[in-house]
Structure 1
């Protein structure tokens, strides 16, 4: 029935132009460097807040997190995902990953 692709089932450029096709398979060296830079900038902000003497619950939780230099590459460049294979997903596959905080630890039990 569908042996020859004609009519409504014919692939067109529009059909192949979806977002999923444009996401690169792996992080480039530049993108990895930018991820590390963002993590270091967050570390600097946390150190500045600690040095200023501000106290709050979120800052106490942030002080416990590992710094960029202490993190494994697995934690820097991938994030936890319940639906992904082996529960890890490359950070650049997350929508708006440059604007969201990158979780620095994996949930307990995974």
Structure 2
């Protein structure tokens, strides 16, 4: 249909999502940089506390449980577990506030 009443994407198919299916290479590099920044902060805090002969339980637990950026698999860096999705994974960028939350641990095998 032509003219002023032609169909547009939002009108023909409902809500038009503007989130691409995959992360771009720039988003991936920024995600890796964020992970490295967190690793750097944790190592700085633990070394500063070690100099004062102190420790904090939460930082020690973080160092035990959470892998550093170089140890993580690519699928863990860029996607998260979601039981509602077909293959149990969805892109990190589809999580609300994905730049602010640490999603380093996922269930084993997924």
With the length of structure 1 as denominator, give the TM-score of the two structures. Answer: 0.77
State how many pairs are aligned: 99
- For residues 12-70 of structure 1, the C-alpha deviation after alignment (integer angstroms, 9 at most, x for no partner) is 5554573x520011000000000000000000001001101152222122102111011
Q: What is the CA-CA distance between 1:11 and the residue it aligns to?
A: 5.7
Residues 1:55 and 2:60 aligned together: no
Cα RMSD after superposing both structures? 2.3
**SS where residue 80 of structure 2 aligns?**
strand
Distance 2:89 2:9 in 1: 32
**TM-score, normalized by length of structure 2?**
0.77
Q: What are structure 1's unaligned runs of at least 5 residues?
A: 1-9
Could you give the per-residue CA deviations for residues 47-97 of structure 1, whole angstroms, max 9, x where no partner exists? 001101152222122102111011110100001112112221110011111
**Structure 2, unaligned runs of 5 or more:** 1-5
TM-superposed deviation, 1:107? 2.6
